[in-house]
Amino acid sequence: MADFLIAVAGFVLAMVALGLVRVLRGPASADRMMAAQLLGTGGIAALLLLAAATDMPALVDVALALALLDAFASVAFVMGGSRSEVREPDATEPHEHGA
């Protein structure tokens, strides 16, 4: 059972690596923004599997932290990767810069 879980964790990792090939190649920056999302989900899955396989429940805490920080990083990517501020379909007035 532990071996099986570790094998699945390795498989998920391989899938993530393959997916990375695509998102890192782009070409649009939106493609690259998906990298954090993909890695986050795959990493979390691998962590949960390893937590059960190696009997380290603390890894679930790492997965929890990773989920939060990954969400934050993805939002930062989207806001920083766009040339303008994030605008929803009906945006409010533009922000001010202290020039």
Partner 1 sequence: MVRDVFTIVMVAAGAFFFLAGTVGLLRFPDTLTRLHALTKADNLGLGLVVLGLLLRVQGPLGALKLVAVWLLVQLAGATVSQLIAGAARRGEPSA
Partner 2 sequence: MTMAMALDSGLAVVVLAVAGWTIAARGTFAAVVGFVSYGLLLTLVWVRLEAVDVALTEAAIGSGLTGALLIGAAARLRAGEASPVEGPGVVLRLEIAVLSATVAVALAIAVLLLPDPAPTLAPAAAENATATGLGNPVTNVLIAFRAMDTLLEKVVLALALVGVWSLAPDRVWGGYPGPRHRSDPHGVLAFFARLLPPLGIVVGIYILWAGADHPGGAFQGGTILAAMWLLVMMAGLTDAPPVSRRWLRLVLIVGPVVFLVVGLGGLWLGDAFLAYPAAHAKPLILTIEFAMTLTIAATLGLLLAGPPERKLS
Interacting residues toward partner 1 by CB under 8 A: 1, 4-5, 8, 11-12, 15-16, 18-19, 21-23, 26-34, 37-38, 40-42, 44-45, 48-49, 51-52, 57, 60-61, 63-64, 67-68, 70-71, 74-75, 78, 81-83, 86-88
The pair of three-digit structure tokens given for residue 75, joined into one six-digit string:
């939002």
85 binds, among partner 1, partner 2, none (CB under 5 to 8 A by kind): partner 2
Contact 62, 11 (CB under 8 A): no
CA 24 – CA 31 distance, rounded (Å): 7
Alpha carbons 70 and 18: distance in angstroms, whole number = 20
Taking Cα atoms as reference points, which of 21, 59, 60, 58 lies closest to residue 39?
Answer: 21
Binding track, positions 25-64, relative to partner 2; x by CB under 8 A: -x--x--xx-xx--xx--x--xx--x-----xxxx-xx-x
